[in-house]
Amino acid sequence: MNWHTESPVIHPSRSPHRAARAMEISRVDLRGVLQRGEPGSRDAVTSMVAHGCVVVAHDALGPDLRRALFGRALPDLFALPLESMKRNVSSVGPFKGYVGQIPGMAWESVRVEEACDAGSVRAFADLLWPQGNPDFCDTFVSFAKSMLGIREMHRRPPRLAVSLTHGVRLSRYGAPPDTETGISMPAHRDDGMMTAIVQHEAKDGSCLAVPLDDDTVTFVAGWMFMVYANPSTISHTVVLHVGTNGRVMPCVHRVRTPSNRERFSVLFGSRNKPGAVVRALDRPARPDEYSAFRLSTEGSKFSDPLKAICGIEEDASEELQKF
């Protein structure tokens, strides 16, 4: 089971105006929270279950780092000619490098693999800037390591980190093609990651605005929280929620820029390393088996018999850690 998350940061000065509607997704303050189980951490889980996303206030990204990232690094990057941007090609697969020039979307984006590795970031910068760009590299690595720190503090189970690779996607949105709706990217679910969005679709079909404050990061669940029980049937009724025991659905979201101004976003994400496989539990429990176990002498020894019969502990076998 893997946690596929992407934690985005949006520069307030380049973001859409906040909706007049009252904010319905409250901030979860994780400043000073050092481990899972503390009140702020529990609130984050509650928000993920309710909305498929959580807006986190954290001090990992200070104002100086944000200014360096959004005030200098991203403007320098997207000022490059298209020919330079297209050098960002990934060997992993399509849509893992430069993405842009899509009809009906004023959006272009590049992605850096192994974003916490200084050598990988330097190779990316040397590809786009033949003379190199040390300032960009320093800012980028500082950001990635700060985001990884937030992720590692709250990921569960932490040992699954060995099967993940971390990347950062840098995006620029121009004026939306449809100025009436202000939609720059239509409603969608992310492929195996979390992303920062201006609007989120609630369970009743309405949209909730996300606050774009200087000290917040938004985590949004993507498709890879789930595994299909029947891969040939794309239906919510057959999906098996592996990583979260069925509690977190991938969040439907869209991107809006009603101000018609340029907007930058940075998405920190993790996904399976090449060749890793996400699969169902090795010990699924049938209801009749669970009932019998719960009432048995052995089952009575456990405060959580369901976890005992089919749960996966953080010190699970090496075989389970492969995915």
pLDDT tens for residues 220-266? Answer: 776 555 443 333 333 332 233 345 555 677 677 777 777 777 788 88
The ranges assigned to domains in the chain are 6-280, 281-323
Q: What is the pLDDT of residue 111?
A: 93
Q: What is the pLDDT of residue 129?
A: 96
Q: Which residue has the higher pLDDT, 88 or 27?
A: 88
Q: Which residue has the higher pLDDT, 294 or 219?
A: 219
Q: Which residue has the higher pLDDT, 118 or 173?
A: 118
pLDDT above 70: residue 33: no
Q: What is the pLDDT of residue 30?
A: 79
Pairing of strands 183-188, 253-256: antiparallel
Q: Which residue has the higher pLDDT, 156 or 67?
A: 67
Mean pLDDT of 61-77: 90
**pTM higher than 0.85:** no
Residues 24 and 210: their CA atoms lie apart, in Å, by 8
- Minimal CA–CA distance to 208: which of 220, 195, 197, 199? 199
Terminal Cα distance for the chain, rounded:
6
Q: What is the pLDDT of residue 10?
A: 32
What's the token pair of residue 204? 């009743």
Quote the percentage of the chain above a pLDDT of 90: 16
Q: Which amino acid is at 84?
A: S
| pLDDT confidence tier of residue 84, bands split at 50, 70 and 90 | very high
Mean pLDDT of 86-98: 82
Pairing of strands 207-209, 164-173: unpaired
pLDDT tens for residues 174-205? Answer: 878 777 777 777 776 665 545 433 333 445 55
Q: What is the pLDDT of residue 273?
A: 67
- Mean pLDDT, rounded, of the chain: 69
pLDDT tens for residues 262-275? Answer: 788 888 776 666 66
Q: What is the pLDDT of residue 74?
A: 92
Q: What is the pLDDT of residue 301?
A: 82
Q: What is the pLDDT of residue 109?
A: 92
Q: What is the pLDDT of residue 244?
A: 56
pLDDT tens for residues 5-32? Answer: 333 333 333 333 333 343 466 778 877 7
Fold annotation for 6-280: Jelly Rolls (2.60.120)
- Minimal CA–CA distance to 15: which of 196, 153, 226? 196
